[in-house]
Chains A and B, each alone.
Chain A
């Protein structure tokens, strides 16, 4: 079946603009995660959704970052008033439930000028 998909694959924006990144998880997966990988760094957890439960936002770096998951499927990560330090690869993953292996999408490469 289809894997996790993300769009856009690349995004270049100017400092101060808002951006939206989209994630389509694997069909039937109830858990969805956002991570980011900054240059030379490992993956950093951002936020986690499980079913209809309140999301775990403990990894969001600032209040400029928010995410939602509509209908338990597609998720959007929004970064407001982007800063140059937001430049990174943003990765989405999904799993059958919170106990199972996470499968990653290809990522969105964000560059803030």
Chain B
């Protein structure tokens, strides 16, 4: 039972353009969402998060949008840079229910930024 899904295993974007990574979830109890970035042979690095009380959170080139009715979130990177090439993981947790950040991760999307 995949509660968090990233349906695109890979995405290729030209440098300077917008990258949009998508994530869908099924558990309506999830109330906190995060995006992590992972380079080969390294652990995931936290990028940005959003609480379910918001529909948008922005940090520099990164913006996360949350559509609770559709159980969908997306990460926008603009402008995309070569250093953004990595695997991006969407994660969710049900803080209120579990009282802990037991994160449920998607399968990841490999983003490649082409010069």
Contact = CB atoms under 8 A, between A and B. Distances in A.
A42 interface: yes
B44 A104 contact: yes
Interface string A88-113: 00010101001111111111000000
Say which size band chain B's interface belongs to.
20 to 34
A102 B105 CA distance: 13
A48 interface: yes
Interface residues of A, number: 28
B34 A106 contact: no
Contacts of A106: 41-43
Majority secondary structure of chain B interface residues (helix, strand, loop or mixed): loop
Nearest 6 CB-CB pairs, A to B? A104-B43, A42-B105, A43-B105, A42-B107, A98-B100, A104-B44
Interface of A: 4, 31, 33, 35, 40-45, 48, 50, 56, 58-59, 91, 93, 95, 98-107
23 contacts: A31-B100, A31-B101, A33-B101, A35-B105, A41-B107, A42-B105, A42-B106, A43-B89, A43-B91, A43-B105, A45-B102, A45-B103, A48-B100, A56-B102, A59-B102, A93-B43, A98-B99, A99-B95, A100-B101, A101-B46, A102-B101, A102-B103, A104-B45
